[in-house]
Structure 1
């Protein structure tokens, strides 16, 4: 996708970020900063965006990850974002969203415990080293389990 076309799409979708940013931060100035950081990250990673992908969902995911990471950097260990709500918010069609959420929940629930726990922590925004510290499992094992969980989910959801 051409940069000018991507930037136009980005500009057109950016207005949808404001309500979610405000919901995350609960402060108008912090929400503006979060939106600006999100758009900057999107521009810097524009080469990773694939045509046909839900741009609003992609931007929302970037914003959520930035918020979670910044929240943890301040010394908090739990984040006020509900993962189920996050999944539902980034899909435009709520009927489709409900089907996807149910499919994801079902697939997640069928993961063996050894894969489920590190993968769900990873989804919640924990870094590999944080998961290692909490579960008392070597770093290589954590990375392997998250990788295997992704492969299992990809097979069951597709």
Structure 2
């Protein structure tokens, strides 16, 4: 019964977010001059809101919650852009960048091999969670219960740790 109530509430939030898209577009126009940057900002805001919909409290105003997410997203992107070089061609940036040390290339190769040895269901579940998909959404995508998702992720992490060692440990 709780799962049904939770799913209905989530669907209600999804519909309410969709109804707020025109207001989000207007707010994004105030924050960004570029049309493509505005669309990216709206998309990122909606994605973050959907990922965090389980944190939304029904007694708060959805529009204010979404605007806060958009403003924080914009500020984060602005700070990131301030740290990047301006006006350089991508080809120049690639040439000035440092190549990854050989150790990282070896670790990446080890990780790929270790991931291939994890059973497909557990691997898919682990990768979804690692990409930031919530446990609830991962359970829906994999067609299983949340407890199953948590078990699969835990087992997959354990297998990776046994295979390639703990991150940061030498």
TM-score (ref. length: structure 2): 0.43
Which protein shows a greater Rg?
Answer: 2
TM-score (ref. length: structure 1): 0.46
